[in-house]
Amino acid sequence: MGTDTKQANLLQDDAAEEREKLDAIQAVIQTYRDKPGCLIAVLHLAQEIYGYLPLEVQRVIAEGMGETLSHVSGVVSFYSYFSTVPRARHAIKICLGTACYVRGGKRIVDRLEEELGISVGERTPDGKFSIIITRCLGACGLAPVVMIDEDVHQQVNPDKIEKILAKYQ
């Protein structure tokens, strides 16, 4: 098979996958369309399906839910859980709620930015890590807390960052 044929097949596969994701989002919309107050649930499920919420997906949701695009975009931009850019393989969430902040949460953010060479909200060039600030992970007694994917790391200090990141390399 020639290089051009392989590239054409990859593009077709990508288009088919894209259509499949949008169809799944349409199914979610149909399930929740007539239920008041379900926009956040739809956005959450759409992000699980698509991986993030680019403007085109927000537009599909707005039209399907009978909302304005500005309203949907406002909700997406208000909640830190939602992302309008692809997230990395490993999402690093640093709590900066009161307990975590006063126990050194900001120093952890600074060290992560230094170690990974990225800022909050960005992802590493290899797509492995992204840094996300959150206000509470519900583990104040273990502060400061860092959550990577579903793993909670407690009583983190900047000196532990390198060892923690090594687990996800």
Question: What DSSP string describes 50-79?
Answer: HSS--HHHHHHHHHHHT--HHHHHHHHHH-
pTM of the model: 0.64
Q: Is 33 helix (H, G, I), strand (E, B) or coil?
A: coil
Rounded Cα gap, residues 15 and 21, in angstroms: 10
What is the length of the chain? 169
119 Ramachandran zone, left/alpha/beta (phi>0; psi -120 to 50) = beta
Domain residue ranges of the chain, discontinuous segments joined by +: 3-78, 90-166
Residue-wise pLDDT for 45-93, tens only, equals 999 999 899 999 999 999 999 999 999 999 999 987 798 988 789 999 9
Q: What does the mean pLDDT of the chain come to?
A: 91
Helix or strand run (H / E) with residue 26: helix 3-32
Ranges assigned E (strand) in the chain? 90-95, 129-134, 146-148, 151-153
Q: Are 42 and 28 in contact (CB under 8 A)?
A: yes
Rounded Cα gap, residues 37 and 13, in angstroms: 35
Whether residue 5 is predicted with pLDDT greater than 80 in this model: the reply is no
Read off the tokens for 135. Answer: 């206000």
| 90-166: CATH class | alpha beta
Residue-wise pLDDT for 94-118, tens only, equals 999 999 999 999 999 999 999 999 9
CA torsion sign, 97 to 103 to 107 to 112? negative
